[in-house]
Amino acid sequence: MKVCIAEKPSVAKDIAEVLGAKQRRDGFYEGNGYQVTWTFGHFCTLKEPHDYYEQWRFWRLEDLPMIPSGFGIKLIENSGVQRQFKIIEQLVQESEEVINCGDAGQEGELIQRWVLLKAKCAVPVKRLWISSLTEEAIREGFQKLKEAEQYNNLYAAGSARAIGDWLLGMNATRLFTKKFAQGKVVLSIGRVQTPTLAMIVQRQKEINAFVSEEYWELKTIYRETEFTAAIDRLKNIDKANKGLEYLKQHPFEITSFERKEGKEGNPRLFDLTALQVEANKKYAYSADDTLKHVQSLYEKKLVTYPRVDTTYLSEDLHPKIAGIMEDLTPYKALIAPILANPIPKLKSVFDDKKVTDHHAIIPTGMYPEGLHLDEKRIYDLIARRFIAAFYPECKIANTTVLGKVGQVPFKATGKQILEPGWKEVYANDVTEKKEGEEEEEKILPVFVAGESGPHQPKVHKGKTTPPKPYTEATLLRAMETAGKQVEDEEMRELLKDNGIGRPSTRANIIETLFRRKYIEKKKKNIFATQTGMDLIDTIQSELLKSPELTGTWERKLRLIEKGEYAMETFKQELIEMVTDLTREVKTSSYKVITIAPDAPPPPEPKPKAAVVIEELKCPKCKTHTVKKGNTAYGCSNYSVCGFKLPFEVLGKKLTDKQITDLLNKGKTGKIKGLKVPGSDTEKEARLVFNADFNLGME
């Protein structure tokens, strides 16, 4: 029997359907010589400090640095995980071959390898490597299964990343907390989160230190066109008024009129970061929300694998593009001009050298049905960007007009769209702009050098403005380029190897900083809190907070992935760094850091497996699973069984853990603030099922 292990139940179901494994068993599908089972994301994690030595359970400076002689893994402490793992373990032990069907990326590889390691897999392992979950892609993937050994470097990079994060996170967090924190405050330090916070703090300091200054500019209107004096801004009103009087005494004269035709290149296909940037700019979606929406679209077979960092397609996809286009029926009118001719093999779209494990995010061609608004918006962004990539370039004319009034030079610029090209795809979308494009189309009349005439001069008063605070869009770009301000798309591609974090992890890093109250959001803007600023000020080591240095670690991880750098070398470098850092901090002194008492950050977070409640058995009939509705979970055989568990009970919205406890154990832990029916009083109590599976308080 061949055992396939997918990363999610929904993916396992799709794979089982294609393979003909149609018999549903407890925790897997079976049939046609296959057993298809699943994880729910991370099942294993690196062991915690106290798993190595009992004294490491306690946070003491004298025990630092903690450097295990070897790193081990363990199952996450979750009843659902442990139950499903036993099923996987038994299937693996009895199998003739295992097929790793995890998500085709570094994190997916790590999740599955750790599960197989924990299950003591001793049989041959193959790898399913696909970029979409359509039936055609799954079928083709099984016809071209890879040897697991081909992905050993990918696994090594994932392991090195996890070990590096453990070494730095566990040691530095305890080190700074015990040295500088007051009371129960935990100062969280991370390989990626700390330099990200440092960028935000640096920008915050620039904003706080900024002193706005007034300035005056000389402007004039000639032939209904506004010209600005091409001189330094004036620092006082007297000079401006003298300039204005001078301008009134002289006519306006055109000295030069230049009109250059050019092209605006098509927008690149989306990688994950670019999609998150666009969704934040256009819909104010957080990076995390965009990742969830596009992941859902991927699992619904509507788009290709999303956790990618390339904006190119592999050249072997070229023959399939027309077919995908033809299937995008909601965009039929936009696609018709493309399909009127053979699809061009554009260098800006197809490049094998720019594609590693996966290509850019594109639609699969499946019809997008039953999507909620957020998913529709993300799908529309991806589909239009895909279509726009194959349209003609946008032809423009840039006009520069120079003039003078007496001896004062003036200038006006304008831009005219001659042929919209790819911009037709966004003709009804006024929010769509290429990155860095701010000005609307400004058409200037035709001027002739030497012409002159009367004009209406004026003084314009302005104020200098501080640097703009980060939004999630600009922060994601800064993480991608290790803090460098880069507008050019090709240059950004070159810097990606040195970016901090990976496309799939950056959203979580930003959410972690929010959760720990190191940063906060006001409208779309991100600001550092006082705690975040104090933490960065306390860290003297540039290694910990420099985006460029963190970017070099990220580049080494990518080299490990390519087989060009040794995992053991990377680990030793981090051990040396942690050892030096510990020595430095133990002997240093700085102010104590406090934090708002109502919002302490959580201590040493552990990776949590997603609680897949829909995989739990109905406690009433004990036969069927529960199913999520709009306001409650209910038995999947509700019409017969009748079991229902509301999301909100006695004025409290239940957490996933509380719902899981009720379904597994029949009761929750103590919950504060439960409202007593028929009164305004509140109690701390457990929720329990009675004999009829109705909820009561205990």
Domain locations in the chain?
2-144, 159-208+469-586, 214-266+394-463, 289-388, 613-697
| Euclidean distance between CA atoms 109 and 114, whole angstroms | 9
pLDDT tens-place string over residues 252-302: 999 999 999 999 999 999 999 999 999 999 999 999 999 999 999 999 999
Nearest to 202 by CA among 581, 474, 470, 463: 470
pLDDT of residue 484: 73
Per-residue confidence band for 390, with pLDDT thresholds at 50, 70 and 90: very high
Instruction: Report the half-sphere exposure of 681 (CA within 13 A, side-chain side).
Output: 6
Among candidates 628, 425, 576, 537, which has minimal Cα distance to 194?
A: 537
Q: Please, which pLDDT band fits residue 488 given cuts at 50, 70 and 90? A: low
Task: Report how far residue 151's alpha carbon sits from residue 107's, in angstroms, rounded to the nearest whole number.
Answer: 12
User: 607 pLDDT band (50/70/90 cuts)?
Assistant: very low
Region of 451 please: left (phi>0), alpha (psi -120 to 50) or beta: beta
Sequence-distant (≥ 6) Cβ neighbours of residue 439 within 8 angstroms: 415
For residue 682, what are the β-bridge partners?
675
Question: Alpha-carbon torsion 269, 274, 279, 281, what sign?
Answer: negative
Q: Which residues are catalytic?
A: 305
Q: How many residues does the chain have?
A: 698
Q: Take residue 646 and report the two structure tokens written for it.
A: 């509301």
Given phi > 0 = left and psi -120 to 50 = alpha, else beta, which region is 237? alpha
CB within 8 A of 90, min separation 6: which ones?
none
Return the minimum-mean-pLDDT range out of 355-364, 481-490, 675-684: 481-490
**CA of 259: how far to CAs of 161, 400, 452, in Å?**
53, 6, 19
Q: Is 608's pLDDT higher than 80?
A: no
Q: Domain 159-208+469-586 maps to which CATH number in 1.10.460.10, 1.10.8.10, 3.40.190.10, 1.10.3720.10?
A: 1.10.460.10
When the candidates are 3.40.50.12780, 3.40.50.1100, 3.30.365.10, 1.10.290.10, the CATH number that belongs to 289-388 is 1.10.290.10
- Confidence band of 679 (pLDDT split at 50, 70, 90): low
Residue 356 has pLDDT above 80, yes or no: no
Q: How many CB atoms lie within 10 A of CB 157?
A: 26
Band of the pLDDT at 602, cuts 50, 70, 90?
very low
Which position has the token pair 């393979």? 19
CATH 3.40.630.30 fits 2-144, yes or no: no
Give residue 246's pLDDT: 96
Instruction: Identify the pLDDT of residue 427.
Output: 84
8 A C-beta contact, residue 532 and residue 200: yes
Question: Would you give the distance in Å from CA 223 to the centre of its chain?
Answer: 49
Cross-strand bridge partners of residue 34: 2, 31
CATH fold label, 214-266+394-463:
Topoisomerase I; domain 3 (2.70.20)
Residue 509: phi and psi, rounded to 5, are -60, -45
